[in-house]
C-alpha cells in the first residue's frame, strides 16, 4: 500500500478508538495508520465499560472494532456507540466475521467492514469516512456560523433583538398561571460622550463589559439582549413579583457600582432603567418592550442613575405622544408659548425683589398647558433648545420693560433644563439675550437642577464660571430631591439654593420635612448661599421659614404665577404680603 498517497488532510490528526482485545493487533494497525498520516492518536478498549468511558470523556473521529472478543463483540460495541448519541463512523475490522453477519451489521448502520490484515482496503475506507465526517463538520460549522450571525449580536455575543423576542416568548409561555416575569429596559447614561471623547473602540469594549455584567445579574431563567448602541433589555422569569422585580433592578444597579477598567483607565457608568411586569403590564414581548422603554424615559427624566416601574397612563400612549410631539413642533413655529411670572419676597428687605418666569403652552384647542406636561417631551425631542431660547429672550425683554416702567432692580429667574444646559451653547445665548434686551446681567438668575450638578462636574463648573464671569446669578432649583452632598455643592460657583416645594408640605408639623428645611437653610448659610423656599402656601409656613432664617419666599401664599400685566399690578400694590400683625411692610423692589 502506498501510504504516502493517503497522507491526506482527512486522516491527519485523526483520533481513533480501537475496540480490540489484543494489544499486538492494535499496535500493528496503528503502525499502518501512522505510516499513512503524520499524526494519529488512538486508544484501545476491550470492555463495554471502557468503551463507554472513552466515548463520554473524549472526542473520537472513528471507531475500528474487532468482531469477536473474549468479553465483547462488535454488535455490543456498535450499540454502545449508538447510545452515546455521537455520530462516529464505525468500521468492523475482523478476520472472523462472515459476510452474512457483516452485511447484517451494515444494515443496522455499521459503516463498513474490512478483513483483518487488508490494510490496502482499510485505508481508503477510513479516508472515505473521514472525508464524509469532515464535510459534515464543515456543514455544521457553517450552520453554526450562520445561526450566530442571524441570532446573536456580533459585538457582545448576546442574543439579538429578534432571537431575544423568540426566546422571551418561549420563557413567558413556560410561566405557569400565577407566576410571571420582569422585563427591564436599560440605557447607559451619557454613553455618547464616551464614544465622542475616547473613540468608538473604547466605547465598544465598554459595551462588551456592560453586556457581561448584565448577564451575570440575570438568573438562569433570564435572557439579555442589546437593543441598540447602548440600550439593553433583560427578561427574568425568576422575578415574578414586584419585590422580586425590585431586587432584580437592585442587583443590576449594584453590578454597576464597581468601576469598569479599560487600558488602565476607570470608567463609572450608570444606568437608567425602566421596568415592567409580565403579564400585568403586557401579555406579549413587543408591548412589554414599549412599556419598559417608556418607563426608562421617565427614569431618565427624573435624573438618570434611576429606575422607574411602568405605570399605565392612558394619556401617555405612543399615539398620544406622537400627536403631542407634532403639536409641540407646530407650537414652536407658531410661538404658542406665554410666560407667567411668580414673585418672591426677600424677608429681610421685606419686599418683592425677584420674579420667576414660568412657561405655559397656549394650545389653540386644549387651552393652557402646564410646563410639566411638555418640557420633558421638549427635552426628549430636542425642541427645548428653541423653546428655552425664546423663554430666555422673552424673560429678559419683559424684565427690561418692567425696569423701564419703574421696577428697576427687579430680578428675573429663568429655568434651564438639564438637556438645555448640555445641548445648547448657553453662555453664548445668555450673552446675546442680555446684549439684545439691554438687561443688566445681575438681574438675570438661571435656575438649574441638581441633575446638572451630578453630570460631568468639570464641564458644568466651566459653564457656570463663564456665566458668573458675565455677572449672571445661578440657583439650584428643587434642591433636596437629588443627591448633592455638602462637599459636592462647595465645588460649584452658585448663589442660591431653592428648597423644593415638596418639603413645604406639613413642614411645620412633620418632623422629617421640618428637619430637612432647617438643614438646607443652615447649609446655605454655611456655604454663604442665599436660601429660597418655594411652594409656600400658609401663614404657618411663612412664620416657620422666617424663624429658621430663610432669605426668600415664593408660593401661592403670596401669589400664583401671573401674566406680565397682572404681575406689574400686583407688585405695585405689594404692601400686604407678609402675615398680618407682624408689622411688615412689603413693597416693590
Residue 555 near ligand C2E by CB under 6 A? yes
Q: What are phi and psi of 57, to 5 degrees?
A: -90, -25
User: Of the ranges 135-143, 156-164, 553-561, 575-583, which one interacts with ligand C2E (CB under 6 A)?
Assistant: 553-561
User: Of the ranges 19-27, 109-117, 368-376, 566-574, which one interacts with ligand C2E (CB under 6 A)?
Assistant: 368-376
d(CA 6, CA 131) in angstroms, rounded, equals 12
What is the nearest approach in angstroms of ligand C2E to the Cβ of residue 549? Answer: 20
What is the CB neighbour count within 10 angstroms for residue 35?
A: 17
User: Using CB distances below 5 to 8 A depending on partner kind, what does residue 203 bind out of ligand C2E, Mg ion, none?
Assistant: none
| Binding positions for ligand C2E, 174-233, rule CB under 6 A | none
Query: What would the DSSP string read from start to end of 454-488?
Result: HS-HHHHHHHHHHHHHHT-EEEEEEETSS---HHH
Tell me the residue ranges of DSSP E strands in 379-529: 411-415, 444-449, 473-479, 496-499
180 or 535, CB closer to ligand C2E? 535
Query: What would the DSSP string read from start to end of 210-251?
Result: HHHHHHHHS-TTEEEEE-SSSEEEEEETT--SHHHHHHHHHH
d(CA 497, CA 523) in angstroms, rounded, equals 9
d(CA 281, CA 528) in angstroms, rounded, equals 49
d(CA 43, CA 58) in angstroms, rounded, equals 10
What is the nearest approach in angstroms of ligand C2E to the Cβ of residue 480? Answer: 12
Residue selected from 129, 346, 394, 534 as contacting ligand C2E according to rule CB under 6 A: 534
Residue 343 near ligand C2E by CB under 6 A? no
**Residue 21 DSSP SS3:** coil
d(CA 506, CA 488) in angstroms, rounded, equals 28
Residue selected from 306, 308, 415, 455 as contacting ligand C2E according to rule CB under 6 A: 415
Residue selected from 103, 200, 442, 556 as contacting ligand C2E according to rule CB under 6 A: 556
User: Using CB distances below 5 to 8 A depending on partner kind, what does residue 236 bind out of Mg ion, ligand C2E, none?
Assistant: none
Residue selected from 80, 112, 477, 551 as contacting Mg ion according to rule CB under 5 A: 477
CB-based contact 253:320 (threshold 8 Å): no
Residue 375 near ligand C2E by CB under 6 A? yes
H or E stretch covering 404: helix 384-404
CA dihedral 244, 245, 246, 249 (to 10 degrees): 120
What is the nearest approach in angstroms of Mg ion to the Cβ of residue 505? Answer: 14
User: Of the ranges 32-40, 95-103, 213-221, 415-423, which one interacts with ligand C2E (CB under 6 A)?
Assistant: 415-423
What is the CB neighbour count within 10 angstroms for residue 441?
A: 17
**Residue 308 DSSP SS3:** strand
What is the nearest approach in angstroms of Mg ion to the Cβ of residue 420? Answer: 13
Mask: binding to ligand C2E, 440-479, rule CB under 6 A, as x and -? -------x-----------------------------xx-
Residue selected from 32, 230, 478, 551 as contacting Mg ion according to rule CB under 5 A: 478
301 or 501, CB closer to ligand C2E? 501
| Binding positions for Mg ion, 429-468, rule CB under 5 A | 447
378 or 568, CB closer to ligand C2E? 378
CB-based contact 14:61 (threshold 8 Å): yes
Number of residues that bind ligand C2E (CB under 6 A): 24
d(CA 130, CA 185) in angstroms, rounded, equals 49
The residue sitting closest to ligand C2E, measured at its beta carbon, is: 555
Q: How far apart are the first and last CA of the chain?
A: 113
251 or 304, CB closer to ligand C2E? 304
| Binding positions for Mg ion, 413-432, rule CB under 5 A | 415
Q: Given the rule CB under 5 A, which residues bind Mg ion? A: 415, 447, 477-478
Q: Given the rule CB under 6 A, which residues bind ligand C2E? A: 342, 358-359, 370-372, 375, 388, 391, 415-417, 420, 447, 477-478, 501, 534-537, 555-556, 561
Amino acid at each position: 500500500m502506498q501510504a504516502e498517497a493517503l497522507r491526506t488532510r482527512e486522516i491527519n490528526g485523526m483520533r481513533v478508538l480501537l475496540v480490540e482485545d489484543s494489544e499486538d493487533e492494535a499496535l500493528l494497525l496503528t503502525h499502518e495508520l501512522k505510516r499513512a498520516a503524520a499524526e494519529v492518536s488512538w486508544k484501545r478498549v476491550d470492555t463495554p465499560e471502557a468503551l463507554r468511558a472513552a466515548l463520554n470523556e473524549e472526542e473520537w473521529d472513528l471507531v475500528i472494532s474487532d468482531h469477536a472478543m473474549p468479553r465483547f463483540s462488535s454488535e455490543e460495541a456498535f450499540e454502545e456507540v449508538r447510545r452515546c448519541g455521537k455520530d462516529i463512523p464505525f468500521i468492523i475490522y475482523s478476520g472472523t466475521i462472515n459476510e452474512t453477519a457483516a452485511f447484517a451489521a451494515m444494515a443496522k448502520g455499521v459503516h463498513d467492514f474490512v478483513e483483518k490484515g487488508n490494510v490496502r482496503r482499510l485505508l481508503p475506507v477510513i479516508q472515505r469516512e473521514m472525508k464524509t465526517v469532515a464535510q459534515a463538520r464543515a456543514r455544521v460549522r457553517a450552520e453554526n456560523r450562520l445561526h450566530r450571525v442571524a441570532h446573536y449580536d456580533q459585538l457582545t455575543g448576546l442574543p439579538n433583538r429578534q432571537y431575544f423576542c423568540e426566546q422571551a416568548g418561549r420563557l413567558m409561555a413556560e410561566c405557569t398561571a400565577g407566576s410571571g416575569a420582569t422585563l427591564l429596559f436599560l440605557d447607559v447614561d451619557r454613553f455618547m460622550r464616551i464614544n465622542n471623547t475616547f473613540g468608538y473602540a473604547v466605547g465598544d469594549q465598554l459595551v462588551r463589559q456592560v453586556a457581561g455584567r448584565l448577564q451575570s445579574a440575570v438568573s438562569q431563567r433570564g435572557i439579555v439582549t442589546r437593543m441598540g448602541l447602548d440600550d439593553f433589555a433583560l427578561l427574568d422569569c425568576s422575578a415574578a413579583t414586584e419585590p422580586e422585580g425590585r431586587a432584580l433592578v437592585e442587583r443590576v444597579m449594584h453590578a454597576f457600582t464597581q468601576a469598569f477598567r479599560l487600558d488602565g483607565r476607570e470608567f463609572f457608568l450608570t444606568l437608567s432603567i425602566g421596568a415592567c411586569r409580565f403579564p400585568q403590564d403586557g401579555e406579549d414581548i413587543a408591548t412589554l418592550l414599549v412599556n419598559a422603554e417608556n418607563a426608562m424615559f421617565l427614569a431618565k427624566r427624573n435624573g438618570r442613575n434611576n429606575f422607574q416601574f411602568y405605570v399605565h397612563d392612558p394619556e401617555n400612549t405612543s399615539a398620544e405622544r406622537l400627536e403631542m410631539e407634532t403639536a409641540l413642533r407646530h407650537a414652536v413655529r407658531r410661538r404658542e408659548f406665554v410666560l407667567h411670572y411668580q414673585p418672591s419676597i426677600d424677608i429681610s428687605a421685606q419686599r418683592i425683589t425677584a420674579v420667576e418666569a414660568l412657561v405655559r403652552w397656549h394650545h389653540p384647542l386644549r387651552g393652557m398647558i402646564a410646563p410639566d406636561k411638555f418640557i420633558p417631551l421638549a427635552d426628549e425631542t430636542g425642541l427645548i433648545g428653541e423653546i428655552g431660547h425664546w423663554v430666555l429672550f422673552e424673560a429678559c425683554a419683559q424684565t427690561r420693560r418692567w425696569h423701564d416702567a419703574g421696577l428697576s432692580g427687579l430680578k428675573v429667574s429663568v429655568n434651564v433644563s438639564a438637556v438645555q444646559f448640555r445641548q445648547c451653547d448657553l453662555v453664548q445665548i445668555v450673552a446675546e439675550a442680555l446684549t439684545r434686551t439691554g438687561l443688566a446681567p445681575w438681574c438675570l438668575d438661571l435656575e438649574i437642577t441638581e441633575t446638572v450638578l451630578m453630570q460631568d462636574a468639570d464641564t458644568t463648573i466651566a459653564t457656570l464660571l463663564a456665566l458668573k464671569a458675565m455677572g449672571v446669578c445661578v440657583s439650584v432649583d428643587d434642591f433636596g430631591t437629588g443627591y448633592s452632598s455638602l462637599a459636592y455643592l462647595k465645588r460649584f460657583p452658585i448663589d442660591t439654593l431653592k428648597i423644593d416645594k415638596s418639603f413645604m408640605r406639613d413642614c411645620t408639623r412633620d418632623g422629617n420635612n421640618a428637619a430637612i428645611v432647617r438643614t438646607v437653610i443652615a447649609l446655605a448659610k454655611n456655604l454663604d448661599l442665599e436660601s429660597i423656599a418655594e411652594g409656600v402656601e400658609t401663614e404657618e409656613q411663612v412664620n416657620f421659614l422666617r424663624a429658621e432664617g430663610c432669605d426668600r419666599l415664593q408660593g401661592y401664599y403670596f401669589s400664583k404665577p401671573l401674566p406680565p400685566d397682572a404681575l406689574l399690578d400686583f407688585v405695585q400694590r405689594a404692601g400686604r404680603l407678609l402675615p398680618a400683625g407682624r408689622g411688615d411692610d412689603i413693597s416693590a423692589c
